[in-house]
Structure 1
Amino acid sequence: MRYAARRTWPEKIKAWEYISEAEDMEAFALMFAEDKQLAADTEFVVIEKAGAESEIEFFKVSRTEPYALIAAEPRVESASNPAPAPAQAQKTSSGGGLGFGRQGQPMDGGAEAIAGVWRAMFSNALFFGKVGATAMLIFVSAVFMAKWWFNAW
């Protein structure tokens, strides 16, 4: 079977670093770690290059001499924003704020985000209404002052 691998965090590489063939995914992952001489605690992803229904697995190097791997949780956040611990994820999803979707992925606010957009649109319309009313009031005041002080009409 043909597989591809790349590091996921903290060295996020967009292209596949390693493409080769192996009997199974674990053998390929071990071969990738040994060939690239990955340090302990390095996380990487392996994908089966079989088409649309490719299998994806995440691995972490647990020791280097000899190399040993363990299954890892998917990490796609940047180094400045690490993934929350599972206990924190449960607190967040039950306590309001940022919820979590079907497969534990954070949702982007949903109704709260839409409500925020509507609030912003309403406040912008209100702001332009206030500016327009103020400009109209100044214009009408200038016309009446010109008539009253200078008897313009």
Structure 2
Amino acid sequence: MNYAARMMWPEKSATWDYLGAAESLDDFAMMYATDKALAVGAEFVVIEKGGADSDIQFFKVSRADPYGLIPADPRVESGGSSVSATTATAATSQEFMQEQSIGEVWKAMYSNIFFFGRVSGTAFLVFLAFIGIAKWFDLW
């Protein structure tokens, strides 16, 4: 399988700096860390170059001799501060940060408005029911 890798923190590059083939994504990550002689604590990202369903994994070097890798959280550089995303479901090969389309934002907003309307309507109907019961039993 073909894979690509790049450093993502602290140097955020726009291109892939390592391309190659390996049996698995973990094997390729180990090859990248070894060939580039990455320091302990260095973080990088590896993507499977297989089209739209490409696997993306983030790694951190845990030890240098022999190399050991652990999973890392997706991180990107943003004005000198780091932003940690909880999931990488919306990650693309261009940017590795979670993004939502404007359609998803509008859908969430309308669903919240609809929920508020349902709760308000239910509360109003309960209020009217109490008034009706009070008038029925001549308590009003």
**TM-score over 0.5 (shorter chain):** yes
Contact 1:8–1:44, Cα closer than 8 Å, also in 2: yes
1:74 equivalent to 2:74? Answer yes
Aligned residue in 2 for 1:29: 29
Q: How far did residue 55 of structure 1 move?
A: 0.7
Contact 2:74–2:84, Cα closer than 8 Å, also in 1: no
TM-score, with structure 2 as normaliser: 0.59
Distance across 1 between alignment mates of 2:39 and 2:20: 21
Rg larger in structure? 1
Contact 1:33–1:67, Cα closer than 8 Å, also in 2: yes
Aligned residue in 2 for 1:2: 2
Distance across 2 between alignment mates of 1:85 and 1:105: 6
Choose between structure 1 and 2: higher helix proportion: 1
SS at match of 1:69: strand
Distance across 2 between alignment mates of 1:63 and 1:50: 30
CA offset digits 1:41-81 (Å, max 9, x no partner): 11100000011111100000011111000000000133721
Distance across 2 between alignment mates of 1:18 and 1:84: 24
1:62 equivalent to 2:53? Answer no
Distance across 2 between alignment mates of 1:13 and 1:50: 21
Shift of the 65–15 alpha-carbon distance from structure 1 to 2, 3 Å rule, reads same
Choose between structure 1 and 2: higher strand proportion: 2
CA offset digits 1:5-60 (Å, max 9, x no partner): 00001011111111111000000000000000011111100000011111100000
Distance across 2 between alignment mates of 1:79 and 1:63: 29
Percent identical residues: 53
Distance across 1 between alignment mates of 2:62 and 2:70: 6
CA offset digits 1:119-151 (Å, max 9, x no partner): xxxxxxxxxxxxxxxxxxxxxxxxxxxxxxxxx
Q: Which runs of 5+ in 2 are unaligned?
A: 91-96, 107-140
Shift of the 84–51 alpha-carbon distance from structure 1 to 2, 3 Å rule, reads closer
The aligned length equals 94
**Aligned AA for 2:46?**
V
Distance across 1 between alignment mates of 2:33 and 2:51: 24
Aligned-residue CA RMSD in angstroms?
2.6
